[in-house]
Amino acid sequence: MQTVKDWLELEKAHDSGIYTKHEVVIVRGKGARVWDSAGQEYIDCVGGYGVANLGHSNPYVVEAVKRQAETLMILPQTLPNDKRAEFYDTLQGVLPPVLSRYFPCNSGTEANEAALKFAMMATGKRKFVAAVRGFSGRTLGAVALSYEPKYREPFGPYGHSVVFVPYNDVEALKSAVDDSVAAVFLEPVQGEGGVYPATPQFLQAARQITQEKGCLLILDEIQTGMGRTGRVWGFEHFGVVPDLMTAAKALGGGVPIGVCAMTAEVAEKMPKGGHGTTFGGNPLAMAAGVAAIRYLQDTRLWERSAELGREFIEALRSIDSPKVREVRGLGLMVGLELGEPSAPYITRLEQQHHILSLAAGPRVIRFLPPLVIEKSDLEQVVQAVRAVLS
């Protein structure tokens, strides 16, 4: 029989080496819990980086995937498919009517690549305005908009130019958007950059400025979508509708998926064959996406996210520790900023309290639990955070 150590050693021996690995082998998940190979249970506030909103191995999604796997798994988009059509119709049901055209793909960064290419084609321009601390993904188009120099600088120069403005700075945004800009590209709540919600003024100004200057507004809802922030999409908090929106992470209930949603006006500017994907829109992912959106709608999980998130943030704020700088968030997208590096505390939460959490920048402990998490689990997380900080 394989031991815990064997799996760890095997994985480390062959891994590309880009990840700092936890010293644990996770083998199973259910709801907001995961189990390691020794049978130990963990409360999972990593949630697959915000993929597992509906809970690990959500039974409704599992059933849909099983059924579709036996029916048809792959079909290029040149061949129409019942599940793809159903996915588009279901997605339209949770989006504003103007976002009626969809490019399905397989990940967040691919959705953002598509958004950049559609925006370039629709405007004839190739300059973007993005935000300081923003994160857009790792492929060569999207990474140019990911602010962190470690992600971006070694791989440039890029074929499109990007101007970064401080997030939530309306004046800086105003002066950055001129006639040469194709689109302003923003997250409604910055995730990877440290969990910073947008101010309503900032997103509303972004909408107004882009309209005035004749450029596009792209909102990246990859982490903030599917109920994470207490609404189905983050932009619903702000009364702003973008020209293009990207989603991925939780959209497939755990199955790899991405989508770039856009207005008909934007979509019509891309010529036939101007973009494409082999796996994108495959019936297996489409069936998972239909099940995930339906489950979200039927259970109104975004309301649970809003309520539990409010209580969780309040409870974390009540922790009386000089180490805590700030607790920020929206719904169950929560960051606790320390006055020192967060990594040792993330390790202690895991090793001493069996709670998995993740970083967001060097000093933030980020919590992205499945939205189905029990209130008592979140109370346990607060107790554990209090304990590791004392």
Ligand X SMILES: *Cc1c(COP(=O)(O)O)cnc(C)c1O
Site pattern 176..195 for ligand X (x: CB under 6 A):
-----------x---xx---
Q: Taking CB positions, which residue lies at the least distance from ligand X?
A: 108
Judge contact between 131 and 190, C-beta under 8 A. yes
Which residues, numbered 88-107, are part of the site for ligand X (CB under 6 A)? 107
3-state class (DSSP) for residue 128: strand
Question: How far is the C-alpha of 358 from the C-alpha of 335, rounded, in Å?
Answer: 9
- Which residues in 283-300 are b (16+ Cβ under 10 Å) and which e? bbbbbbbbbbbbbbeeee
Q: Is 137 in the site for ligand X (CB under 6 A)?
A: yes
Cβ nearer to ligand X, comparing 334 with 388: 334
Tokens of 328: 């920020």
Q: Least CB distance from residue 183 to ligand X, whole Å?
A: 15
The response to whether 223 counts as a known ligand-binding position is yes
Rg (CA), the chain: 21
Q: Is 113 in the site for ligand X (CB under 6 A)?
A: no
Q: Is 53 in the site for ligand X (CB under 6 A)?
A: no
Q: Least CB distance from residue 166 to ligand X, whole Å?
A: 18
Residue 259 backbone phi and psi in degrees, to 5 = -150, 140
* Of 90, 223, 229, 357, the one binding ligand X by CB under 6 A: 223
Q: Is 261 in the site for ligand X (CB under 6 A)?
A: no
Q: Least CB distance from residue 362 to ligand X, whole Å?
A: 17
Number of H helices, E strands in the chain: 13, 17
Which residues, numbered 360-389, are part of the site for ligand X (CB under 6 A)? none
The response to whether 108 counts as a known ligand-binding position is yes
Question: How far is the C-alpha of 315 from the C-alpha of 327, rounded, in Å?
Answer: 10
Give the Cβ contact number of residue 78 at 10 Å.
Answer: 6
Question: How far is the C-alpha of 258 from the C-alpha of 222, rounded, in Å?
Answer: 8
The response to whether 278 counts as a known ligand-binding position is yes
Cβ nearer to ligand X, comparing 115 with 270: 115
Q: Is 222 in the site for ligand X (CB under 6 A)?
A: yes
User: Binding site for substrate, residues?
Assistant: 138, 277
Which chain residues interact with ligand X by CB under 6 A? 107-109, 112, 135-137, 187, 191-192, 220, 222-223, 248-249
